[in-house]
Amino acid sequence: MPRPPSTMRRQILDAALRLFAEHGFKGTSLHDIAIEANCSKASLLYHFAGKDAILTELLTPPAESLSAMREELGALKGDRAAETAVTVYVGLAMRFHLEIKIIFAELPEMLGHPVLAVIPQAVDELADALAGRSGEPRARVMAQMVIGGVAVTVAADVDVDRDTMRAELVRGALRTLGRPTR
């Protein structure tokens, strides 16, 4: 019995996400994705125009979430901005850890992808919120350390359960920023 289109589409996306994270975008073929998704290459191409279309669909939710984060953080100041930025950023990093791994694996090419055009401004605004809107060099450097540290940690496949990982990332980020931890 054939699978419903939405199920097949999701299986293709899930397979591509796993393969792109493990082998990179360039190191994964449409044939690899079709095998992993248990479908034919023709079926895969029925649902997606190609590998770039799959990547675009995979990267759209993180990009949209970054835009939503920017809106959420926009009106916050000081400690409230920093603490909210840590919590929201760690949550996004945990949710999209495989997507981050894909982006880091081929960073220069990935940042040129149209769906990721939001990243540079979102990172600048996140850094500003993490720094508590301070222009002080120490605050700016610590903010960048949090951004990089969280992203690298979630992409590294550390063998820690997700709840512990989230809690330790938030605690570590707040400590790095010189903020009280919970």
| DSSP code, position 177 | T
Token pair 């393969």: residue: 19
- pLDDT tens per residue across span 5-45: 579 999 999 999 999 999 999 999 999 999 999 999 999 99
- pLDDT tens per residue across span 155-180: 887 899 999 999 999 999 999 999 87
Q: What is the mean pLDDT of residues 127-144?
A: 93
In sequence order, what DSSP letters do the residues of 60-95 get, joined into one string?
HHHHHHHHHHHHHHHT--HHHHHHHHHHHHHHHHHH
